[in-house]
Structure 1
Amino acid sequence: MGFLTGLAALALLTTPSTGPEWRLTPGLLLIGPVLVSARKGPRATACAVGWAVALSVAMAVTMAVTTSVASSVALSVALLDCLVVVVGGGAAVHGARRRVRREAELIRVAQRSRDAVLRPLTAEVGGVGFSSLYRSVSDIGLGGDLYDLVQTPYGARLLIGDARGHGPEAAVLCAATVGAFREGACAIPALVDLVAHLDARISGDLGPEDFVTVLLAEFAPGEVRLVNCGHPAPLRIGWRAEPLAASPPSAPLGLGPRPRLQRARLGVGERLLLYTDGLTEARDAQGTMFPLDDRVRQAACQPQLRECLDELLSLATAHAGGRLQDDLALVMCEPRCATPMTVVRERLMSPWPERRFDGVD
């Protein structure tokens, strides 16, 4: 629109001095609609065509009033120019409509593919409730974050991860990692061996600089078993919010991971938040990252798991000024079956010392 407005002003100002030998041809008038059709929809393109037609008429009127060209000649020129602009503009509108439809179909296909890989978690598996939330910064909804849940003979197993990069390229790594997890989750007893399986299976999909951070969680009565390969530590939320950081840390998939199994208590009344770095690396205008402070704990104490995730998303988005800079995946877990450990915990009426239960096998 700005281009057409500027062109109109230039044409109307210069026509009296340049005479009939210089005028805006239909080809020049159609530059604006064509440029608009390449980025906007049919409505904006039609508006640009209207501007072009109006400019063509204004040029003809100005030429007839300010020069010696006969009005009949000016009218004929104006009609011919308008006809060419209308026909060319109609083609631009049609092209914009086809492009918008094609893009919408591609987005639908991409979202269906994403939903097949990243199935929303809204279920109770093995006595543990799960809920998930995913947001991508890509316009087509594909990104580098991943998660999945499988019920196995060893308990509910959960995967969350983050592939390097954004968009379709990272989505390919996500699909490969989730596929390898679904393939091995029920067949491989040890979580550490499952990591080796994932690393081997996706090696053919990794580029020279590609890697995937992953966190595997296996739920058993009163505890969660974790294997962390370069991923942000999960947050256990009870009387306080505390990260369950792996010691020693391990490299991500693709960079020679050598993780160790970590065991941590997780009883009824506690929740476990697994997340990607899109949460903690959300930055405000001063570059300060989103803190895992008491606001996060309060958000995680909402009655419903999905409400917790929605509140966390709102907090992170507000901190980032209304728009996240990175893909984000959140999974909230909550044990719902009473266990002997839960009874002991209730009798103690205080948090268990970490040395009694948490540790590395």
Structure 2
Amino acid sequence: MAVALADEAVVAVSLSGFLLIGPFAVAHYLFNPRLTSLTAGLALLLALLLPVGGMDAASPAIPDHLIRVLIVATGGLWAVLTARTHQEHRIALKRLARLAKTSQQAISPPLPPELGGLHLATRIRSATPGARLGGDLHEAITTPTGVRLIIGDAKGHGIDALSHAAAVLAAFRQTAATAPDLARLAYLLDHRLAGDLGVEDFVTVLLAEVARDHVTLVNCGHPPPIRIGSSLDVLDLRRPSPPLGLAPDPRPQRARLLPTDRLLLYTDGLSEARTPGGDMFPLDERLHATLAAPTLDQALDGLLGLLDRHTAANLTTDDLTLILAQPTPSMLPGPHTVQQLPGSRRTSA
């Protein structure tokens, strides 16, 4: 209405083209075809009424008026089509996000809160808001010697990474309960994956077998786990192995893990998290206190809060998977045939 009044007041310069601002603004910001149609109709009505006060009997300027009406009508129609296209794209993206989430959950469903005497909590966060189509993987299975866990990260993002992660998980579910040890399990996973990977593709994995008083680890190119006890201890292996797909050479090693301890397994969404200035996520007293929360779920929720404050909404390209495990005294003791970890890297906590 303001544009119409201004157009009537300024006869020499027509402002009717500004009537299109309303329809295009609604189409661009609200993505609502019906509301855009109403706004376009109002703009067209105002365009038709503009010459009532601006024409005189000697100079009706009918051709100019018709051109202005045609421009407003055409622009309004374009705005409606734009709004409809935006709405269809939004619906398609929501469907794709739901499909991605369903596919990811079907491949790697949430872990139960308790398995074989091992308490578990899991958190998954995608680098892309609203989507969970990535290469992170995790699973847990009970065996006669303890609970075996896997956490990993396939190189890249999207369908290829998801396909490689699915292949690793399928192989793990088929062989984890029968493989004699974690080294053999890692070789089996690599063998099953060989036909699916390209020349430059790989999958990092961490295998863990948790028994009553210790954990056996095999690390194939993955960030090392963190033991939470009286301090934070990064469980680095003496001889880390290359990832799956790059000729892994796994060597199982054992570390103490009592029922009073917790074990954090994670993907590089945590280890590579940085502030806008480039500082890495610190393993300090705050993290120690957070991971020692009364429950595992509270500990992981607190960890995500620390991570958000550290990154300050800094965008990341890495998905994040967190698994926090704590054994109970009821767990069966496992075999003691693997090499003891020579020492863990203790943090300042």
TM-score, normalised to structure 2's length?
A: 0.80
Deviates more, 1:164-173 or 1:310-319: 164-173
Residue 164 of structure 2 corresponds to residue 182 of structure 1: no
Query: Which SS does the other structure have where 2:302 is aligned?
Result: helix
1:131-170 aligned within 5 A = 131-139=121-129, 140-170=131-161
Query: Which SS does the other structure have where 1:205 is aligned?
Result: coil
Give the structure with the higher percent helix.
Answer: 1
Q: How much has 1:164 moved relative to structure 2? A: 1.5
Distance 1:304 1:44, change over 3 A: farther
1:169-248 aligned within 5 A = 169-248=160-239
1:42 maps to a residue whose letter is F
Q: Is the 8 A contact 1:164 1:170 kept in 2?
A: yes
1:101 maps to a residue whose letter is I
Q: Deviations over 1:102-144 (max 9, x none)?
A: 1111111110011112211232111110111010112422122
Q: Is the 8 A contact 1:56 1:78 kept in 2?
A: no
Residue 120 of structure 1 is aligned with which of 110, 120, 126?
110
Question: How far apart in 2 are the matches of 1:337 and 1:69?
Answer: 98
1:119 maps to a residue whose letter is P
Q: Is the 8 A contact 2:37 2:80 kept in 1?
A: no
Q: How much has 1:75 moved relative to structure 2? A: 4.2
Q: Is the 8 A contact 2:118 2:326 kept in 1?
A: yes
Correspondence for 2:119: 129
2:251 maps to a residue whose letter is R
Q: Is the 8 A contact 2:44 2:73 kept in 1?
A: no
1 or 2 for the larger relative contact order (CA 8 Å, sep ≥6)?
2
Residue 293 of structure 2 corresponds to residue 312 of structure 1: no
TM-score, normalised to structure 1's length?
A: 0.78
Correspondence for 2:78: 88
Distance 1:45 1:141, change over 3 A: farther
RMSD, matched Cα: 3.7
Q: Deviations over 1:128-183 (max 9, x none)?
A: 10111010112422122211111223321110011112233322222222122112
Q: Deviations over 1:57-88 (max 9, x none)?
A: 679959x9599962544443344333333333
Question: How far apart in 1 are the matches of 2:276 and 2:246?
Answer: 33
- The unaligned stretches of length 5 or more in structure 1 are 1-14, 342-355
2:320 maps to a residue whose letter is L
Correspondence for 2:324: 332
- The unaligned stretches of length 5 or more in structure 2 are 1-10, 334-338, 344-349
Number of residue pairs aligned between Structure 1 and Structure 2: 327
Q: How much has 1:300 moved relative to structure 2? A: 0.6
Correspondence for 2:346: none
Query: Which SS does the other structure have where 1:204 is aligned?
Result: coil
